[in-house]
Amino acid sequence: MIRGMEHLSYEERLRELALFSLEKRRLWGDFTAAFQYFKGAYKKDGDKLFSRACCNRTRGNGFKLKEGRLRLDRRKKFFTMRVVKHWNGLPREVDENGDGARELKNMKSDRMKVLQMDVCSDQEVAQAVDFVKRTLKEPEEGHDLRSCHPSSPWGCCGLVGIGKGSFWRRIELQASELEQYSPLSEIGLWGLVNNAGVSTFGEVEFASLDNYKKVAEINLWGTVRVTKAFLPLIRRAKGRVVNITSMLGRMVSPSRSCYCISKFGVAAFSDCLRQEMYRWGVRVILVEPSNFVAATGILTADSIDKQAEALWSEASNTVREDYGREYFSHHVALMKSFINSGLKDMSLVLNDITDALTSTHPNNRYSPMETYWWVRLQVMTHLPTAIADWLYIPGAPL
């Protein structure tokens, strides 16, 4: 044991020493080996460990893998299964030619810095904070601090956006037109936008505890982790924290409990933080989009099939017998019908994020959604529960 670290947990010791866990180091080595394989380093073996998947419609990176046929070599098959599972879960920006990273870099803006960060990693979040601190510029002598407006994200006030690249390209372009908004502040970070998120489905008896934890780790704890890390910089600038939740952070929907819990948690965290930050002059703002599945690709036929297979295989015999395969298949088909549903234009969301960052008097809550979902949200949150359920949930008694 290293002297002075006896009282620290395993994770805290790794963080202090700037080390990864054994599990992450092994995964890192696996990814390195897979990358070298595709670069031709292992051609002499003549083994087809991986091949590139034909379908690129799934959300995430555009270089999907599929396993080679290695039924007679369990060691190699175990390696390929382990790598493919995690590789295909990497975000699109991991690929240097990914749409998000390429779109941001093509802007060729000296005010835009692209940095990849895992919101589930304390170490990577801390490194991102250090990067932002190094990038933010001290005001020059005689510099008028009123010029540090949100249209200059990397001057003495900054803007950090967590999520897909297409959001930030639009916001950067809109912010450049808003020169009249000039918040007075010391050096600090003007805006933080938490947009990273994942979705899943599954009724409570089918969803495993791991499903709940995985979704919450990104949607909820990722938001909390990033916000806490950047909050001192935000306070110095008397800036803005904008958290992207969902209409499912205020009302629930059957088979979406994993997602709803995470979004309700973000809403509660944001409400508490908003009240705490009033004395500091910091605004904490929620953006609650409705159904933008068709625009974001957060659900695809491939991802639904994979989730459904896992839900059914991991369910207990009792649950499978009681619900039946026919009911479960109908439920999966219903989820697939949502793939192309909702709005395909993200303008409503992007305009609200821009207003939240640049308006002199922003709203505490924005709800970019169609009329149907706005009415349903009002019904579900204002009418007695029994009446609201009876109106929208099949089989609910009155």
Task: Quote the Cα angle for 24-165-230, to 5°.
Answer: 65
51-65, 86-100, 115-129, 371-385: the lowest-pLDDT one? 51-65
Which amino acid, 182? S
Q: How many CB atoms lie within 10 A of CB 370?
A: 13
**Poorest-confidence range of 32-41, 155-164, 280-289?**
155-164
Q: Tell whether the model's pLDDT for residue 165 goes beyond 70.
A: no
HEC states along the chain?
CCCCCCCCCHHHHHHHCCCCCHHHHHHHHHHHHHHHHHCCCCHHHCCCCEEECCCCCCCCCCCCEEECCCCCCHHHHHHHHHHHHHHCCCCHHHCCCCHHHHHHHCCCCCCCCCCCCCCCCHHHHHHHHHHHHHHCCCCCCCCCHHHCCCCCCECCEEEEEECCHHHHHHHHHHHCCCCCCCCCCCCEEEEEEECCCCCCCCCCCCCCHHHHHHHHHHHCHHHHHHHHHHHHHHHHHCCEEEEECCHHHCCCCCCCHHHHHHHHHHHHHHHHHHHHHHHHCCEEEEECCCCCHHHHCCCCHHHHHHHHHHHHHHCCHHHHHHHCHHHHHHHHHHHHCCCCCCCCCCHHHHHHHHHHHHCCCCCCEECCCCHHHHHHHHHHHHCCHHHHHHHHCCCCCC
Quick: pLDDT tens for 134-145. 887 654 444 443
Q: What is the mean pLDDT of residues 115-134?
A: 87
Read off the pLDDT band of 182 (50, 70, 90): very low
Q: What's the rounded Cα separation, in Å, for the pair 244 and 246?
A: 7
Q: How confident is the model over 313-322, as pLDDT tens digits? A: 999 999 999 9
Scanning the structure block, which residue is given the tokens 């200059």? 152
Average pLDDT of span 72-86: 58
Which residue ranges form the domains of the chain, and what is each CATH number?
23-90 (no CATH), 96-136+149-299+338-392 (3.40.50.720)
Tell me how far apart the alpha carbons of residues 297 and 249 are, in angstroms, rounded to a whole number: 19
What mean pLDDT is predicted for residues 149-156?
39
Q: Is the pLDDT of residue 180 over 60?
A: no
Q: Which of 5-9, 38-42, 185-189, 201-205 has the highest mean pLDDT?
A: 201-205
42 is catalytic: no
* CA 2 from centre of chain: 36
- Whether the per-residue pLDDT at 207 is higher than 60: the answer is yes
CB atoms near residue 118 (< 10 Å) = 15
Cα separation, 282 vs 190, whole angstroms: 9
Q: Which amino acid is at 305?
A: D
Of 3, 28, 25, the closest CA to residue 16 belongs to: 3
The average pLDDT across 303-331 equals 92
pTM of the model: 0.70
Q: What is the pLDDT of residue 47?
A: 54
Average pLDDT, the chain: 77
The pLDDT, as a whole number, for residue 112 is 76
Res 74: pLDDT: 47
Q: Kindly name the residue from 181, 259, 323, 327 that is annotated as catalytic.
A: 259
Whether the predicted pLDDT of 199 surpasses 60? yes
Q: Give me the residue label for tokens 């009911």.
A: 327
The CA distance from 17 to 33, in Å, is 25
CB-based burial label for 345 (10 Å; 0-12, 13-18, 19+): exposed
- What is the reported pLDDT for 117? 82
- Contact call for residues 90 and 60 (beta carbons, < 8 A): yes
pLDDT band at 392 (very low <50, low <70, confident <90, very high): very high
Give the angle subtended at the CA of 203 by the CAs of 53 and 83, to the nearest 5°: 25
